[in-house]
Amino acid sequence: MKALVLKELKKPYELENRDDPVPGPGEAVVSLKAAAFNRRDYWITQGMYPGIELPVIPGSDGAGIVKAIGEGVDETFLEREVIIDPGMDWGDDENVQSDRFHILGMPMDGTFAEQVVVPASQLHDKPDHLSWPEAAALPLAGVTGYRALFTQGKLQTGEHVLITGIGGGVATFALQYAIAAGATVTVTSSSEGKRNFAQKLGAVAGYDYRSDDWGKQLVAEHGAPDLIIDSAGGDGYRTLLEIAAPGGRIVNYGATAGPPGKLDLFKLFWKQLQLIGSTMGSPADFVSMLEFVKQHQIKPLIDRTVPLKDANENLEAMATSEQFGKLVLEIG
Ligand SMILES: NC(=O)c1ccc[n+]([C@@H]2O[C@H](COP(=O)([O-])OP(=O)(O)OC[C@H]3O[C@@H](n4cnc5c(N)ncnc54)[C@H](OP(=O)(O)O)[C@@H]3O)[C@@H](O)[C@H]2O)c1
């Protein structure tokens, strides 16, 4: 099979011929139709991810057709059109993943290849309303947005939710889900084009997080948010504590802009705020996310799709965050 391999940090992926994977007991080989990028893939190329082991076939997201199964796997899996849950070994606790938790695409070889081998228990039927690129764009960011918004954020219909950095892959899913759930959604973005697009999708307003008074403006125009979904952190985190409604929740699943600046603990305790962490999602979150996506016929937004051999173009786009929606690889 053809596969992209990351051999050295800060170097492009190399396209190689590899032996086809062979399924072990409980495993299945998926012939991939499409794969998708996440920020994680970029962080790994830059050496900014814990426990990097190279060489590796990267890629956590993928969708395709089951072509081979190992011992103990039900034969009905063969020829099924599937998407892959990339979160492995979550464990038994719905509140937090186990210390065995790991993500497809490092250290395990991932989806930027013609085939991938995974435990059959990670496979779910591809939602019928999604194309192959759309299905591949869903898993990692889709489940992260779902858990952040619903499982951890406990979003209720009619609440005001602020989603920061709307150009992000997870943020875009959170926007689509929150609108489908009947919330009032405001967003931030550094890009006017992305703010306008978010409004076309149903957000009531967009603000530039680089301006000094965006938070005050948001509260004056739309009231204080009950729930804030953030993956930036950084100096701007202070503003989130200032503008959150009393009793509000702030859910974080990333720290793109680095550690938070000085936090005002007075704001935290006086307003009885809840700061909540969230990471990817449990198998139960994944199933609920798929049900929600099917029920509301949600389609992932795709910025661009390129053939496997041109994957390094997507990697370059990630460096500048110019995309809105997912960067996808078409395979086969
Ligand atoms: N914990 C988890 O399970 C998990 C899962 C997925 C991702 N993550 C993390 O979450 C973060 C986002 O990942 P992603 O793949 O969804 O997004 P992404 O596609 O990498 O996009 C990142 C976006 O962050 C926004 N941003 C940058 N600096 C910002 C700031 N100071 N304030 C607000 N927004 C800012 C930008 O939005 P604009 O272009 O709109 O300005 C940018 O487009 C990354 O740090 C990633 O590692 C964590």
Q: Enumerate the domain spans of the chain.
A: 2-138+300-330, 143-277
CA of 25 to the centre of ligand 1 (A): 37
Q: What is the CATH number of domain 143-277?
A: 3.40.50.720
Give me the pLDDT at residue 46, please.
95
Please write the tens of the pLDDT for every residue from 61-102. 999 999 999 999 999 999 999 999 999 999 999 999 999 999
CATH of 2-138+300-330, one of 3.40.50.300, 3.40.630.30, 3.90.180.10, 3.30.70.330: 3.90.180.10
Give me the pLDDT at residue 319, please.
87
Q: Is-contact 6 56, C-beta < 8 A?
A: yes
Residue 101, ligand 1, Cβ within 6 A: no
CA of 279 to the centre of ligand 1 (A): 13
Q: Is-contact 69 60, C-beta < 8 A?
A: no
Angstrom distance (rounded) from CA 211 to CA 239: 11
Which residues of the chain carry a pLDDT beneath 70? none
Residue 31, ligand 1, Cβ within 6 A: no
Give me the pLDDT at residue 225, please.
98
Q: Compute CA distances 59 → 110, 218, 310, 314, whole Å.
A: 5, 37, 14, 12
H helix intervals, 190-245 = 192-201, 214-222, 237-243
Give me the pLDDT at residue 98, please.
98
Does this model's pTM top 0.95? My answer is yes
CA of 70 to the centre of ligand 1 (A): 37
Neighbours of 177 (CB within 10 A): 26
User: Of 141, 195, 150, whose CA–CA distance to 171 is shortest?
Assistant: 141
Q: Per DSSP, what are the bridge partners of residue 113?
A: 3
Give me the pLDDT at residue 332, please.
80
Phi, psi of 315 (to 5 degrees): -65, -40
